[in-house]
A and B are shown apart, each in its own frame.
Chain A
């Protein structure tokens, strides 16, 4: 479980995050949604320590991440996995080597055990056949799946996904959503997904935080979305005619 309490972050005179508090629950896919520029990515960067909030607390199962020294932060980061918008695979390494990287760096297993674990993770995302290819030789969807395999190689407790469906077709997006959702349940992780893909919101949003211009506007589940009277949320989620019709039919 990750709790954030009264988090503030500003750049020069502009408040990007303004008094945000929320609890990201364990074993659930927690979504952060909001329009472009609303502060979703800044919040995620504050959560993983790439940015430091000016005020507030970020608690990982009660451990205050901001108050930790660099060694403690480093240790905690080994419990995290992250899937970036661009997948962020290492170009010079093959798919298998990318997945093995965290194992090579931090695991005390033998080489054979590390290869076995990496192949297991690749098999989990149905990419064992591509293990000898390089990131430049595979599609964007496959790169995201490799990123998922790399993120779970060390069996993290916390998984962060920054717009995992960005640049993918709807069908591949569903595959990625299903994978992240099933892996979250399988490893009992706290998963936080930063997205503005409405299919993800309505499909896997077990806990949703809606940010509007840097502040918390709404929270709930995917089912609550259909009954919500929050105008900003409704304008954001049901912007398209298709989704408006879905709402009118009560989400059926």
Chain B
């Protein structure tokens, strides 16, 4: 019980250092733009790819499993949209990003730690925690709504492709279902949840990377711990946020 509390304490202290006043805003802004590209833009490809196929698979599974003579045909489109909006494009996509972005952040900072690059920043008088971590958090939080938007659209296109090319259902029914009883708030729910998840991914992964002690094995362990901890925290906070926002 002592270790989790001690880890939480260290995390809070690190966050205190991260959210302190930057030495030179110009340098932080440059880092922020770099991180938006590295963490956000570079993730668009995988987000589109996964969302497209998951959108298509959701559509096929719903069609195969809930189709019956007394069920309206547009239900497939309606259910696909709700799954994409409410869970997949925010929570599941962030779980996937926890693997890609989280391990990237932890291993980058861990390597900087073991090669003394972080010590070099400290000796120069730079707040290394703030300079290295703050732009990552802000960069991912800025980019995540864009990634969620791409994910929703790619998922819907994937669903349409099953109708257009696989011919498993009528595209008009799918389109009607996707537009049926649309609740704009669900899109905002998706964005709000993803902002929290982005903060969790970037800050937790940065914590594990920044506090590495040892060599390459410790960096590998930090990377794994970052992904596992981020994923568990995303699932836990998803539960709370879903309850609060619904």
Contact = CB atoms under 8 A, between A and B. Distances in A.
Chains A and B are bound partners: yes
Interface of A: 48-50, 74-78, 80-82, 84-86, 88-91, 101-102, 104-106, 160
Given A104-B27, A105-B23, A88 B116 contact: yes
A46 B117 CA distance: 18
Contacts of B26: 104
Interface in B2-24: 23-24
Contacts of A104: 24, 26-27
A203 B123 CA distance: 27
Contact of A105 (B117, B119, B124): B124
Contacts of B126: 105
Contacts of B124: 77-78, 80, 101-102, 105-106
Given A84-B116, A86-B115, A48 B123 contact: yes
A90 B23 contact: no
Contacts of B115: 86, 88
Given A78-B124, A82-B123, A90-B120, 11 more contacts: A77-B122, A77-B123, A77-B124, A78-B125, A80-B125, A84-B119, A86-B116, A88-B115, A105-B24, A106-B23, A106-B125
Counting chain A CB atoms within 10 Å of each CB, which of B27, B122, B123, B127 scores highest?
B123
18 contacts: A50-B122, A50-B123, A75-B125, A77-B123, A77-B124, A77-B125, A78-B124, A78-B125, A80-B125, A81-B123, A84-B116, A86-B116, A88-B120, A90-B120, A91-B117, A101-B124, A105-B27, A106-B124
Nearest to A75: B125
Interface residues of B, number: 15
A185 B122 CA distance: 26
B13 to A, nearest CB: 13
A52 B116 CA distance: 18
Interface of B: 23-24, 26-27, 115-117, 119-120, 122-127
B116 A106 contact: no
Contacts of B127: 74
Contact of A88 (B27, B119, B125): B119
Contacts of B120: 82, 84, 88, 90
Nearest to A91: B117
Contacts of B122: 49-50, 77
A50 B122 CA distance: 8
A50 B125 contact: no
Nearest to B123: A82
Contacts of A89: 117
Contacts of A80: 123-125
A105 B30 CA distance: 12
Nearest to B131: A105
B78 to A, nearest CB: 47
Contacts of A91: 117
A89 to B, nearest CB: 8
B24 A88 contact: no
Contacts of A102: 124
B33 to A, nearest CB: 13
Contacts of A160: 123
A236 B79 CA distance: 77
Nearest to A153: B124
Nearest to A89: B117
